[in-house]
């Protein structure tokens, strides 16, 4: 049923989604704010994508409705999409039981307790990096550390915006590299890549950017009065599952197995330390999987819309545009980076941006001979860069609301995302990966 003839009108569902989602977001964020809600989250992405799917189903009268449903089913039934949905469920259960067992708080408190007073700000960056790698969520990391950043600012005399931006930067570093992050899951599984391979492709870009950011923060801290981060209670046993998951994932063990082991370890150590019991363990896993439902529904809807757009010639229209304006392997990588960045600017959600961009990125990757692990790395990294700096994204909005400043005050001091963007550009210019 694939139609290789390019058809720009096949892209209409994407523009319907963007118009509805961005229009509602701008209206409720800047024109008529809703008390207690972030403007870009008033209209659910699920509802916006449902409207886009309706438009996609109404297009192409040459194809019967039953055939269109078959196209959707084929898109949803893709092996990588199915695996991704299973991983989302396990990642949700893992996050839920980890939180209930006290793993996140204990890990953060353990790391915060060893930060030297004179290097409180660079210490915050390191802690945010490690916590977000372990937790797999930038928003969760910011929620835990933003109030601590505020106390560091107050006690050490450091600018509040700098301390908060440091936490946000570290949170985006870990979110980009974590094995249990939904962005990593989406980027790897849509490209058919092992998480370990994508991690090592990513670390070559992210680590130098993080090292430079850390050095910059250390230089800024020299000569300062220092800040007492504080002494926090922690139980080192509760931190073990996080680090075990990271090690197992790096060893190349299947992520489903890794997450299963992580859940079992948190249940065991949580019971040993008395932080959870049988009932709370299962209820917390239930809450965690429930929190993933919207992401899973969006994945199903986007897979359906993407399959229809491909069948109607939309992907061919995008590829034709890239062929005319971007040439060679580097041109293909630039196309993937720009597409992902644009979609994240539009959706203010890095996971949604990756899921939307992924099928087109795979087509570009196949045509231009780009290694799948490089494509997955670009999808995840570019979406995290944009998500970390847009003032209406959940990360900056939550950081701002917890510390009493505005997103615009934080933006200029987001050293890590901006430095990371430079390294992404350099990685494309000087790319030496093998042509697939």
Q: Are residues 370 and 269 in the same domain?
A: no
Which of 71-75, 205-209, 248-252 is predicted least confidently?
Answer: 248-252
Q: Is residue 3 part of a domain?
A: no
pLDDT at 26 over 50: yes
Which phi-psi region, left, alpha or beta, contains residue 34 (left: φ > 0; alpha: ψ -120 to 50)? beta
Query: Count of CB atoms within 10 A of residue 103's CB?
Result: 29
* Residue owning tokens 């939309």: 314
Q: Are 111 and 126 in contact (CB under 8 A)?
A: yes
In a shared domain, residues 59 and 132: no
* Number of domains the chain is built from: 2
Of 69-78, 196-205, 294-303, the one with minimum mean pLDDT is 294-303
Domain end (from 242, 263, 291) = 291
Task: Give the integer Cα–Cα distance in Å for 87 and 93.
Answer: 10
pLDDT of residue 3: 45
- Do 341 and 224 fall into the same domain? no
pLDDT per position as a tens digit, 369-422: 999 999 999 999 999 999 999 887 788 878 887 888 888 899 999 999 999 999
124-151 tens-digit pLDDT: 899 899 888 888 888 888 887 888 888 7
Q: Residue 261 pLDDT > 60, yes or no?
A: yes
Q: Which of 271, 291, 311 is the last residue before a domain boundary?
A: 291
The reported pTM is: 0.79
Q: Residue 227 — pLDDT band, cuts 50, 70, 90?
A: low
Angle between helical axes of 103-113 and 236-250 (0-180°, round to 10): 100
* Mean pLDDT for the stretch of residues 310-316: 87
Instruction: Answer yes or no: is 2 within a domain.
Output: no
Per-residue exposure over 217-227, b if at least 16 CB sit within 10 Å of its own CB, e if not: beebbeeeebb
Q: Which two tokens stand for residue 313?
A: 């010639």
Identify whether 109 is part of a domain: yes
Q: Does one domain contain both 154 and 217? A: yes
Segments forming the whole domain that contains residue 59 = 8-78+297-429
Domain presence at residue 40: yes
What's the average model confidence in pLDDT over 347-352? 81
Mean pLDDT of 91-120: 81
Tell me: do 262 and 380 sit in the same domain.
no
- Residue 207, pLDDT > 60, answer yes
């Amino acid at each position: 049923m694939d139609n290789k003839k390019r058809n720009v009108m096949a892209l209409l569902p994407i523009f319907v989604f963007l118009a509805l989602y961005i229009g509602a977001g701008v209206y409720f964020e800047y024109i008529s704010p809703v008390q207690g809600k972030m403007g870009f989250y008033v209209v659910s992405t699920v509802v916006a994508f449902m409207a886009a799917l309706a438009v996609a189903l109404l297009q192409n009268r040459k194809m019967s409705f039953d055939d269109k449903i078959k196209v959707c089913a084929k898109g949803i039934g893709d092996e990588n999409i199915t695996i991704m949905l299973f991983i989302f469920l396990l990642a949700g259960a893992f996050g839920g039981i980890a939180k209930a067992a006290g793993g996140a708080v204990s890990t953060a408190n353990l790391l915060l307790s060893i930060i030297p007073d004179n290097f409180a700000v660079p210490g915050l960056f390191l802690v945010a990096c490690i916590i977000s790698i372990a937790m797999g969520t930038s928003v969760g990391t910011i929620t835990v550390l933003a109030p601590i950043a505020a106390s560091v600012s107050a006690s050490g005399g450091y600018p509040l915006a700098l301390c908060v931006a440091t936490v946000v930067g570290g949170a985006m570093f870990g979110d980009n590299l974590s094995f249990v992050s939904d962005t990593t899951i989406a980027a790897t599984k849509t490209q058919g890549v092992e998480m370990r391979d994508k991690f090592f492709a990513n670390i070559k870009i992210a680590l130098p950017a993080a090292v430079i950011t850390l050095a910059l923060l250390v230089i800024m801290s020299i000569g300062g009065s220092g800040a007492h981060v504080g002494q926090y209670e922690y139980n080192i046993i509760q931190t073990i599952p996080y680090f075990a998951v990271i090690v197992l994932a790096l060893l190349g063990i299947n992520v489903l197995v890794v997450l299963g082991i992580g859940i079992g370890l948190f249940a065991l150590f949580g019971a040993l330390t008395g932080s959870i019991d049988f009932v709370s363990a299962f209820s917390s896993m239930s809450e965690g999987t429930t929190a993933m439902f919207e992401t899973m529904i969006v994945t199903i809807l986007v897979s359906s819309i993407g399959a229809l757009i491909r069948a109607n010639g939309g992907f061919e229209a995008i590829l034709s545009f890239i062929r005319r304006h971007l040439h060679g392997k580097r041109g293909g990588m630039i196309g993937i980076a720009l597409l992902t960045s644009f979609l994240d600017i539009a959706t203010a959600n890095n996971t949604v941006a990756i899921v939307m961009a992924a099928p087109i990125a795979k087509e570009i990757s196949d045509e231009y001979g780009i290694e799948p692990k490089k494509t997955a790395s670009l999808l995840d990294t570019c979406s995290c860069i944009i998500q970390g700096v847009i003032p209406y994204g959940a990360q900056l909005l939550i950081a701002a609301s917890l510390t009493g400043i505005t997103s615009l005050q934080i933006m200029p001091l987001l050293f890590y995302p901006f430095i990371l963007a430079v390294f992404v550009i350099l990685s494309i210019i000087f790319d030496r990966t093998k042509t697939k």
